[in-house]
Amino acid sequence: MVVLSISFLIFSNPSIMLSTMIDASSSALKLAIELCAVYVVWLGILELVEESGLSQKLAKLLHPLIKWLFKIDDEETEKMIALNMSANMLGLGNAATPMGISAMKRLDDGSGVASHAIIMLIVLNATSIQLLPSTIIGLRASAGSVSPADIILPTLISTICTCVVGVTLVKIFGRLRQKLNTRQKYKQEKSGGKR
């Protein structure tokens, strides 16, 4: 992708390549600093939620859902996922990130291949349900909309659609993968038996 872009630039405008790259990385640095500030607040809050035992309660509340989605049985991970999902639903994507990352770390088995739970977590975060698109409403208001908030309902409907499609697909693929795995195991056992 990058090679293609650069080779295009050679024909159109070779002088701006380096400056574009540096501009982009400096805005990434700016973003990282902003994110750092956001994380300071949210990780501080998160620590409080953890210590006070609230996260455990939240995890218990979401336990059936998480169990059905992720098929895991680890209290600590469940807690992180519960917090990640709640933050996402409140529209706090950046606050959800640190919890999502720590859930990820706990789900990682070191094999290098994404497990069902890891894929589910990625897809859930990539299609997260947004209850209140506040930034977009703000943009519409400043662009002179008569009723900037009338996109809430359509957004809610489509965001639920996206999420349902994502979860369903992950479930279907997960099932297929399981079948493939058992078939492979069966074959291996069979060939092992012949020897």
Partner 1 sequence: MSAYILPVIFISLFCYSKYKKINTYQTFVKGAKKAIPLAIDILPYIATIMIAVALLRVSGITILLAKFFSPLFTLLGIPSDLIELVLLRPFTGSGSFALLNDVLLKYGADSYISRCACVILGCSETIFYVTAVYTSQTKVKRLLYAIPVALISAVVGSVVACLICKVI
- Which residues, numbered 51-90, are part of the site for partner 1 (CB under 8 A)? 51-54, 90
Which listed residue (73, 80, 158, 180) binds partner 1 by CB under 8 A? 158
Q: Token pair of 130, please?
A: 């947004």
Place of tokens 């497990």: 115
Dihedral, 42, 47, 52, 58 alpha carbons, nearest 10: 60
Spatial CB neighbours of 125, under 8 Å, sequence gap ≥ 6: 84, 88, 96, 100
**Which of residues 12 and 191 has its CB atom nearest to partner 1 in the complex?**
12
Task: Return the range that interacts with partner 1 (CB under 8 A); candidates 25-33, 59-67, 71-79, 186-194.
Answer: 25-33
Compute the least distance from the CB of residue 28 to partner 1, in Å.
Answer: 4
* Closer by beta carbon to partner 1, 3 or else 73: 3
- The SS3 call for residue 117 is helix
Q: Do the beta carbons of residue 118 and residue 104 sit within 8 Å?
A: yes
Q: Which of 81, 82, 85, 130 binds partner 1 (CB under 8 A)?
A: 130
The stretch near partner 1 (CB under 8 A) out of 61-69, 73-81, 149-157, 178-186 is 149-157
Give residue for tokens 């609230």: 54
Stretch near partner 1 under the rule CB under 8 A, chosen from 49-57, 59-67, 70-78, 186-194: 49-57
Radius of gyration of the chain (CA): 22
- Is residue 180 within the footprint of partner 1 (CB under 8 A)? no
Chain centroid, CA 143 distance in Å: 30
Tell me which residues in 93-112 interact with partner 1 (CB under 8 A): 93, 97-98, 100-101, 104-105, 107-108, 110-112
Residue whose CB is less far from partner 1, 4 or 190:
4
Using CB under 8 A as the binding criterion, the count of chain residues that bind partner 1 stands at 95
Select from 8-16, 59-67, 69-77, 180-188 the region that touches partner 1 (CB under 8 A).
8-16
Kindly state the DSSP code that residue 171 receives in the 8-state scheme. H
The span from the CA of 183 to the CA of 173, in Å, is 15
Unique residue bearing structure tokens 């997260």: 128
